[in-house]
Chains A and B, each alone.
Chain A
Amino acid sequence: MSLHAMAPAGHDDHAAYTAVFTGARRTELDELLTHYPTKMAALLPALWMLQEDRGWVSPEGMDEVARVLDLTPAYVKGVVTFYTMYHQHPVGTHFIQVCTTTPCNVCGAEDVVSTFLKETKCGELGVTSADGKYTVVEVECLGACGFATPVMVNDALVECVGVDTVKDLLAGLD
């Protein structure tokens, strides 16, 4: 039942890691820390910064975040694995998230999913396409139920996607 993406084929999860919290990002983190009475409270925002800069949350990334916030990597990992939006493996250039919870399900969301899988040639949920361009996952309620079927592509929400508009949506991504 995990909706997390899986490791893309042939990917080396442990390619060289460069620190994120230096220079401008460090300054940003330091400013952020003034918003909270504890360092731990900056954990979710810090993980977002890491994911924005590196595309995913790697073990090395978790280790760095732990160090800058005086936490243990095990603790950080426990938090990362709780939330669905932190990628524990790299994802395709276009990370496609289709809501299939009941209000969208009754509007044909599952057909939209299978259309995406077919058109992106991903074949399987959570598995990045061979060309590295697409990863398709099902997500739970996106809070856009009135705009069925809502699809998020990376950070952008596309409203009212139907099986007949999937192709155009994908074409528009490139």
Chain B
Amino acid sequence: MTAPAALANPGMVTLTIEGREVVVPPGTNLIEAAKTVGVLIPHYCYHPTLPVAGVCRMCLVEVEKFPKLTPACATTVGEGQVVHVHSEKAREARKGVLEFLLINHPLDCPICDQSGECELQDYTFAEGRKDSRYMEPKRFNPMEDFGGDVMYVPNRCILCTRCVRFMDVVAHDPVLNVSERGDRAYIGKFEGSDLTHEWASNVVDLCPVGALLSKDFLNKARAWELDRAASICPSCSQGCNVMLETRDDIVVRIRPRPNAQVNQHFACNTGRLNYRWINRRDRLQYPMARVADALAQTSWDAALDVASAAIRHATRVTVLASPSLSNEALYILSQLAQHVGATSLMTIERGPEAPLAGVKDLSLRAERAANHTGAALLGFSESDAPVVSLGAGDLLLVVDAATAVASVPSGVDVIVIGTLLTDALASLALVALPIANYAEEDGTFTNLRGRVQRFLQAKAPPAQARPSYRALADVAQRVGAGEYPMLAGDVFHKLANGVPAFAGMSYRSLGLQGAVVSAPIEALV
């Protein structure tokens, strides 16, 4: 006979939700408690990152022995409570809320961006009335530009106030208010103070309906046309967890995905809007090798031959790598570098920091690089002037860092392995090998706190570009620097076995939330 839950879990609270036994710490609200047993209590204004408002009234549930329905977001668990989410009373209450929300709501679904990912649609379809019996004129307010990337459509607003609470309590920039009273109320701001905060676009995600929209994404794609891949934002070293959303193999939107250890539910504007470059076609797509005075398209085999020959014949090799390459790519590159005795360098671009004040340790970081921590752990050092001391007999291996090289001293041979080829390097390079960008391959980044996180392929690389680690493995193999597996996960496994900081890690152990390296990070760049 199993012990009663209360005895088996001292200090916890045991209750019943929809017939299922729930055991949670005291102080847990009913919405979170229900989640632990897979029960969704419909809600709008509640959000785990925001203070409780209790205003939408959607989460009213029936708790036996309570005189009235109670809002689940604002009710903490009690020992022995019996909670009904789908009793007739609760369902009727929700149906009532949905009806009230829809009376002034425009029938905008055909032209509203939120369609397909709209919680008003979802709950109405599940539990709402089939028809409207509202016979009066609907309230009308004109659209408003809130500044930044955000526009506000008041007619669709359900006044859940998530946006107001986010800007106040999480962003510490209370530029949004609720204006007026009664059904005249709308989300307002003061003229001259806009949503220019670096983290303001999160209100678009928080908005359950199509009232707050991204201007960038306006009318671009339908939610149901999008494919989604879990990824990591490469715009800085914070390593926010994101989803890359693609339509017909083009990235059209980046949105945060939750990770309590890194970015909670949030992403900054810089990261969100930094996706157009992913789709560019003016990049290296085919292997190129120098013939006479210019680079000409050739086969991978031929190009790899040229590259490996150049490396073997060089007096000295200097590797300049992008600090946004994956751990897998950098690992193979570092092995290659070791084999040929090369110096391994990187340059890191920096910009102003922009913290999200209400969240611990979350900021747009000065280091605008996805993996400078991983690079450092794998043996790369930062340099302000990586090429200035080079001369005849030197070989510069530029790996996805073409834009970091303004000019090269004469006599230096250059090999480019990357996505971009600048004019400066095109006039010098012996060979250029095209690789995929982070959206086009699997891999991992190590963020500034040493958290190793997976990113998954979201779209195909163009033409003959190969995954970054694959192209590097091909070169490494030709110069005798070892053989490497085909799959990113297997490369990572080899990395974990070879580099003590990553010991014990695997794609399986990383999952989609990552894990922290076992090495002190503070001493690194």
Interface residues of A (CB under 8 A from B): 1-2, 59, 62-63, 72-78, 81-82
Contacts and interface: CB of A to CB of B under 8 A. Distances in A.
Interface in B151-192: 173-182, 184, 188-192
B239 to A, nearest CB: 32
B41 to A, nearest CB: 29
B299 interface: no
A2 to B, nearest CB: 6
Contact of B190 (A1, A2, A73): A73
A91 B178 CA distance: 24
A77 B188 contact: yes
Nearest to A75: B174
Interface string B188-207: 11111100000000000000
Contacts of B176: 74
Contacts, number: 44
A73 B175 CA distance: 8
Contact of A74 (B182, B184, B193): B193
B181 A72 contact: no
A59 B179 CA distance: 14
Contacts of B181: 81-82
A130 B279 CA distance: 61
A72 B126 CA distance: 41
A72 B193 CA distance: 9
Given A1-B184, A74-B177, 16 more contacts: A59-B191, A62-B190, A72-B173, A72-B190, A72-B193, A73-B192, A74-B174, A74-B175, A74-B176, A74-B193, A75-B174, A75-B177, A77-B189, A78-B179, A81-B177, A81-B180
B380 to A, nearest CB: 44
A78 B188 contact: yes
B182 A73 contact: no
Interface residues of B, number: 17
Contacts of B175: 72, 74
Contacts of A2: 180, 184
Given A59-B191, A62-B190, A72-B193, A78 B182 contact: no
Nearest to A83: B181
Tell me the dominant secondary structure on chain A's binding face.
helix
Contacts of B189: 74, 77
Interface of B: 173-182, 184, 188-193
Nearest to B168: A75
B456 to A, nearest CB: 40
Contacts of B182: 1
A75 B165 CA distance: 12
Contacts of A75: 174, 177
Main secondary structure of the interface of B (DSSP, over half): loop
Those 5 A-B pairs whose CB atoms lie nearest each other, nearest first: A78-B177, A73-B190, A74-B190, A81-B179, A74-B175
Contacts of A77: 177, 179, 188-190
A77 B174 CA distance: 11
Contacts of B179: 77-78, 81
Given A1-B182, A74-B193, A81 B174 contact: no
A76 B191 CA distance: 12
A151 to B, nearest CB: 23
A62 B180 CA distance: 15
A76 B178 CA distance: 11
B188 A74 contact: yes
Contacts of A74: 174-177, 188-190, 193
A76 B182 CA distance: 18
Nearest to B186: A81
Nearest to A84: B181
Interface centre among A1, A59, A63, A72 (most CB of B within 10 A): A72
Contacts of A63: 190
A63 B176 CA distance: 15
Contacts of A59: 190-191
23 contacts: A1-B184, A2-B180, A2-B184, A59-B190, A72-B173, A72-B174, A72-B190, A73-B192, A74-B176, A74-B177, A74-B189, A77-B177, A77-B179, A77-B188, A77-B189, A77-B190, A78-B177, A78-B179, A81-B177, A81-B179, A81-B180, A81-B181, A82-B180
Nearest to B183: A1
B28 to A, nearest CB: 31
A160 B213 CA distance: 53
Nearest to B180: A81
